[in-house]
Amino acid sequence: MNALTRTLITLAATAPLAISQLHAATSYSTSVTSVTSLNITAATSGMASSKFGVYLVDGSGAKRPTSEYTYTINASTYQASITFNPAFTGTVKLKGLFAGADTTHTYDFKFTMFDADTLRVCDGCVDNGSGYAKRSYAGKHFVSTVAASASVDGCANGLYYAYILDNQLWIATTANSGAGCLSNPVNVKLAYSSSGYPAGSVHLGWIQKWQGFYYAGADDRPF
């Protein structure tokens, strides 16, 4: 598997993706019903490299979060092997990468407080040809075509971190999972009992909530 490609895809499906090189965009889609696994060969998809992403669209037209599937892309054969949990019905899409220079939107991968009960990353990111975010760091390219969010309405006090780690966008809290301080993830994974940024993660920022009010922490984006 090309680890950088998977990062790019995972976050592209929900948010960012990371790759070592960019290639011309190529796309492929197929409809499936109640599948738990799927292999798509290069002969079927027409992909000419391993530098592409995988994402899912359900019957309502909504992109599914990457927490519901995992995949690998063979660096030699370009076959995509996908595992679904739970079983998936909808459209599986493969999409080539985003060429060109990094974007310069102020919202690119920014961790923000949308309102008193919602945290967001890349608020403003859209897949319309110009509204996506693309930034480069440590030899990787990160792309996000959608915003990510989580609810914090069940907790008066909390400290929250946003970062990219292991092919996923994360929002973490210092509270434990039973405290009600972080829930309802959209295009993001959640972590609890956090002591800060994990080793090897790409830091995006942190925010504190105290007695129902937000206090800006730090914008730690490295790009």
Each of the 223 residues of the chain gets a pLDDT tens digit; together they read 333 333 344 344 333 444 333 333 368 999 999 999 999 999 999 888 887 888 898 888 777 877 788 888 898 999 999 999 999 999 999 987 666 789 999 999 999 988 878 999 999 998 777 888 988 888 777 888 889 999 987 776 778 999 998 667 899 998 888 777 888 888 888 999 999 999 999 999 999 877 767 777 899 999 9
Q: Evaluate if pTM is beyond 0.75.
A: no
Tell me how far CA of residue 86 lies from CA of 35, 90, 120, 173, in angstroms: 9, 12, 25, 26
Residue 49, φ and ψ in degrees, nearest 5? -160, 175
Residue 19 in 3-state DSSP? strand
Residue 183, φ and ψ in degrees, nearest 5? -160, 180
**What pLDDT sits at residue 6?**
36
